[in-house]
Amino acid sequence: MKRSGPLLTLFAGLLLGLFMLSLNATTGTKSASTTYREDAPAVTASPSPTASPSATRTTPAPSPTTSPVPDAEYAGRTDDDSSAVSVSVRDGRAVAYFCDGHDKESWLKGEVKDDGRMRLTGEHGAVLNGTLEAGRRIRGGVDIDGGHYAFTADRAKKPSGLYRATATVRAAKVDGGWIILKDGTQVGVLTRGGKPSPAPPIDPETGVVTVDGQQLTAHPVVP
């Protein structure tokens, strides 16, 4: 009986050890490894700056200034010296007369642009294209009856310029046109009943002209 004490103690110790091991297995916790990740802060894209309308608006270049087309008369000859041309300008419009002093003539009219360019038209397809140069002269050309006539017409001073007379003489319609050049030379065509011929001279001071014994008055022509 005396030897059973130590054995019981040993046996009790073993049971206690087994019990503790069993308890550990059933209630013990396994450390879970955790991974730490720090999310990067979200980056919000800022909208690209928009230029203000005032910064992007292009200021238009100022329009070139042009002087008003002056009211004036112009008279001159074609480059081949075969004919004369006169142009009268008023309020941006023009009337012109081309004649050779024999049987070829044309009245033309149209507008004058602010830059001095003009395109005047007449009967039977006649056309005058010209450019007013600094209000001092007109250079251009007349296309008439299949021919082209380049000309220069300088600014005219009275009595130089363009004149016209229309009337009925002896039951015939009379229509006369005259150009007085700066040297006093007169170039004109008189049409009687549709038949052209050289025009008789007019008085440069009064415009009076005698046609078939009847006096007529030629007046300055304006648009």
d(CA 130, CA 96) in angstroms, rounded, equals 11
Q: Quick one: pLDDT at residue 14?
A: 60
User: What sign has the CA pseudo-torsion 140, 143, 144, 146?
Assistant: positive
d(CA 24, CA 26) in angstroms, rounded, equals 6
Q: Quick one: pLDDT at residue 196?
A: 96
* Nearest residue to 216 via CA among 201, 194, 198: 201
What is the pLDDT tens value at each position of the chain, 223 positions in all? Answer: 445 555 555 555 666 655 565 555 555 444 444 444 444 444 444 555 554 444 445 555 444 445 678 999 999 999 999 999 999 999 999 999 999 999 999 999 999 999 999 999 999 999 999 999 988 999 999 999 999 999 999 999 999 999 999 999 988 999 999 999 999 999 999 999 999 999 999 999 999 999 999 999 999 999 9
Q: Quick one: pLDDT at residue 68?
A: 76
Give buried/exposed letters for 67-86 (b at 16+ CB in 10 A, else e). eebeebbbbbbbeeeebbbb
pTM over 0.85: no
Q: Quick one: pLDDT at residue 58?
A: 52
Q: Which two tokens stand for residue 60?
A: 């238009």
d(CA 223, CA 95) in angstroms, rounded, equals 5
